[in-house]
Amino acid sequence: MEASHRSNLRKHPVVKDRPIASLQPKLASLLPLKVDAEAPSVRCSCLACPAHELNLCAAAKTKGGPDSDRRSDAPQLASTVYTIPARRSICHPKEWSEFVPIVCDGWAASSIALPDGRRQILSFLLPGDIVSMASLLEPTHGRSVQAITQVTYRNFRRSEIKFNLLTFSDLLERVARICNEERAQADQLALDLGRRTAYERIARLISGLVDKLAKRGMTNGRTMEFPLRQRHIADATGLSLVHVGKVLGKFQEAGLIEINGRSLTIVNEMELRGVAGWP
């Protein structure tokens, strides 16, 4: 009895089905991949991009035409483009170099993991997303970033960003604002994980993603591409893989959403937001 008490205190869940960590380092995937035939060749929505909002990205310049839309007098920075296949790791938790990656195309997940396999996804990275504003000035450790779909991203040099940040104070203001938004989102995540039910968490995750996609013009009416596996949803909401499947099933039964293959349709937006407890 006594002994079993002790061992009870140590009990860790054992995570079994984690095939996701098995990257397949084949030759083909080391080369820049061909673009998926269905997707437009460049879907990078540079206009909704923080990198553009900060006016970092030299690539965005080509899009806005003359300087009518420029929001800072800071110069734009050089960057290197990479394209990697799904499931490949973009950043390892300990390998944060002098570069800051920004996603240009595709979906990625930024997560933090326990040695025993449990992991928590902190945010999904869509085109235009940076891993974390705090990483602009300081290298960020502990987080790992993994591609969900094929991902194209640009690496900026931190030293250059930093120099610009210190030189152009309006840039700093903008970083501070985005930093604050990030914090607010982290707060909400904690509230979700700590105090909301599975139904609420999943409904909120979907609602949030739909908004994000809409802002980037990545929706097609009420339908959109939705490359998340149930495992991603599970790891983002702190739930088990199986339970996520069941809740999603209920949502479809109840006529809130529809999921077919890799596409999601919002059927009853009001009800979905109701479940999510949206304001």
Partner DNA sequence: CGGGCAATTGAAATACATCAAGGCGTGTGG
Partner DNA sequence: CCACACGCCTTGATGTATTTCAATTGCCCG
Looking at residues 124 to 153 of the shown chain, list those that interact with a copy of itself (rule: CB under 8 A): 132, 134-135, 137-138, 140-143
Which of residues 33 and 193 has its CB atom nearest to a copy of itself in the complex?
193
Q: Which of 21, 30, 81, 186 binds a copy of itself (CB under 8 A)?
A: 186
Instruction: Name the binder of 62 from DNA, a copy of itself, none, CB < 5-8 A by kind.
Output: none
Amino acid at site 73: D
End-to-end CA distance of the chain: 49
Nearest in space to 236 (alpha carbons), one of 109, 92, 93, 90: 109
The angle formed by the CA atoms of residues 242, 247 and 249, to the nearest 5 degrees, is 95
As a whole number of angstroms, the distance between CA 121 and CA 117 comes to: 12
Smallest separation (angstroms) from a copy of itself to the CB of 129: 15
Residue 88 touches DNA, criterion: CB under 7 A: no
Yes or no: say if 39 and 151 are a contact pair by the CB < 8 Å rule.
no
How far apart are the C-alpha atoms of 56 and 160, rounded to whole Å?
10
> Residue 267 Cβ, how far from DNA at the closest point, in Å?
15
Alpha helices by DSSP H, the chain: 2-9, 50-53, 58-64, 158-167, 169-195, 198-215, 230-237, 241-253, 269-276
Task: Please tell me whether residue 11 binds DNA under the rule CB under 7 A.
Answer: yes
String marking each residue 165-204 x if it binds DNA according to CB under 7 A: --------------------------------xxx-----
Q: Does 7 bind DNA (CB under 7 A)?
A: no
Q: Determine which residue in the list 61, 157, 162, 231 makes contact with DNA, applying CB under 7 A.
A: 231
Q: Which of 52, 87, 154, 196 binds a copy of itself (CB under 8 A)?
A: 196
Identify residues 217-276 at the interface with a copy of itself (CB under 8 A).
237-238, 250-251, 253-254, 256, 271, 274-275
CB of 99 to a copy of itself, least distance (A): 16
> Count of residues for the chain?
279
Q: Work out whether 229 is an interface residue with DNA (CB under 7 A).
A: yes
In angstroms, the CA 79 to CA 169 distance is 22
Question: Which tokens sit at 242?
Answer: 């199986």
Residue 50: CB partners within 8 Å, gap ≥ 6?
102, 128, 129, 130, 178
Q: How far is the CB of 158 from a copy of itself (least distance, A)?
A: 11
Q: What residues make contact with a copy of itself under the rule CB under 8 A? A: 5-6, 8-13, 112, 114, 118-120, 122, 132, 134-135, 137-138, 140-143, 166, 169, 172-173, 176-177, 179-180, 182-184, 186-191, 193-197, 199-200, 203, 237-238, 250-251, 253-254, 256, 271, 274-275, 277
